[in-house]
Amino acid sequence: MARHSDYPIDDLFLNRWSPRAFSEKKVPTEIVYSILEAARFAPSASNFQPWRFVIAQTDEELATFAEFILPGNRLWTDHKVPVLILLLSDKYRPNGEPNPYHAFDAGAAWQNLALQAHKLGLATHAMGGFDKAKARELLQIPEQFEVLTLIALGYQGDKSDLPEQLQEREMPNDRRPLSESIVSFK
């Protein structure tokens, strides 16, 4: 399925999507860090840069992460996805006051990460289907950090390697028209 925009935009935005089929091919740490470097340059309120990343690349780290991934996502992440990244966000400003923009800013970092990965020929898939409390416990994440999302990172694989029920969903999805996103409340 080819995506189409209502107005001209760069192909980078049209062609990036979130597959579930990943190749087992390892991603060199240097490339992972290049992708995280792009995330580091995301904009943030008062330049607090509240995002933090917990990375799983080794078999032991991936096994630990698998313990908090819900069964529906384990169908496609187990033994396939070579890198998992848990995105956290510091809920507080350096002076200890709450930072109301922490999650918004971490979302900008996620977008930079996803686009840089795409530019480098890799795929990403952010997921909410994991047990945040269990992730916090297993990884000993302090309470000052909100556990936001889990990101699969790797080279796109063949959809025929997915369970049958996921194969039919393995394509870029479309977006609602821009006119439905622009609203007025007067």
Task: Give the number of residues written for the chain.
Answer: 186
Count other Cβ atoms within 10 Å, centred on residue 118.
17
Task: Give 3's pLDDT tier (boundaries 50, 70, 90).
Answer: confident
55 closest CA partner among 129, 131, 153, 144: 153
Sign of the CA dihedral 136, 52, 82, 124?
positive
Residue 34 reports pLDDT greater than 80: yes
Domains of the chain in sequence order:
13-162 (3.40.109.10)
Interval 71-126: pLDDT, tens: 999 999 998 999 999 999 999 999 999 999 999 999 999 999 999 999 999 999 99
pLDDT at position 79, please? 83
pLDDT at position 1, please? 59
pLDDT at position 156, please? 96
